[in-house]
Amino acid sequence: MNKEEEIKRGNEEIAERFNRIEVKLPASRDIAGFFETLFTGIENEFKVPFVWLTLMNTKKGAPIIAAIKSSNILKNRLSVITPELFSQILPPGIKPVLVNKDLQPYYKLLPSRNKYFVKSLALVPFKVNDEIVGSWNNGDAAADRYEPDMETDLLQKFAESVSRRLTELIDADS
């Protein structure tokens, strides 16, 4: 098998893993259940040791923050920061950010009650009604798990699906 076929096969496997998570998301009837399903899926399908949320303390983020704080499973996996700090750390837009060097600025995204030993991060912004409200973050102790030059198209496509479902849940609660 040549390099191109290997990459294609790997991408097909990744897409299938995302699909297995995505098909479970519509069964979630509330925001906390949605993120519990998402986190469990990411942890199980991709063997990610550290998954958490960073949300901005904005009007659009408020219902998500309240829901996460009400979940015994998620409440210690939440970091709430200002929009200004979020925009200092992550570039504008919804493109996932992969880092494995100079992680110090990204530590501000970590939950204050849980400190993870991470050497690489995948930071995945998501939206509610076309406004970025935060990111779900994957961390690993392996420095080569997430590298800046890795392709993020499949992750971004999945994040867009997450954003759509989250928007549906929030709109249904309004």
In the chain, where the domains are located: 3-172
Q: Provide the H-helix boundaries in 48-93.
A: 62-69, 83-89
- Indicate the residue type of 125: P
Give the strands of the sheet with 50-56, arranged side by side. Answer: 78-81, 50-56, 131-140, 120-128, 97-99
Rounded distance between C-alpha atoms, residue 39 and residue 6, angstroms: 28
The DSSP bridge pattern shows strands 78-81 and 50-56 to be parallel
Q: What is the pTM of this model?
A: 0.93
Taking each helix axis from N to C end, the angle separating 153-173 and 62-69, rounded to the nearest 10 degrees, works out to 90
Taking each helix axis from N to C end, the angle separating 31-46 and 3-22, rounded to the nearest 10 degrees, works out to 150
**Model pLDDT, residue 8:** 84
* 10-residue mean pLDDT series, the chain (174 residues): 80 94 94 97 96 96 96 95 96 94 94 85 95 96 94 94 94 79
The DSSP bridge pattern shows strands 131-140 and 78-81 to be unpaired
**Model pLDDT, residue 20:** 97
- CATH topology for 3-172 is Beta-Lactamase (3.30.450)
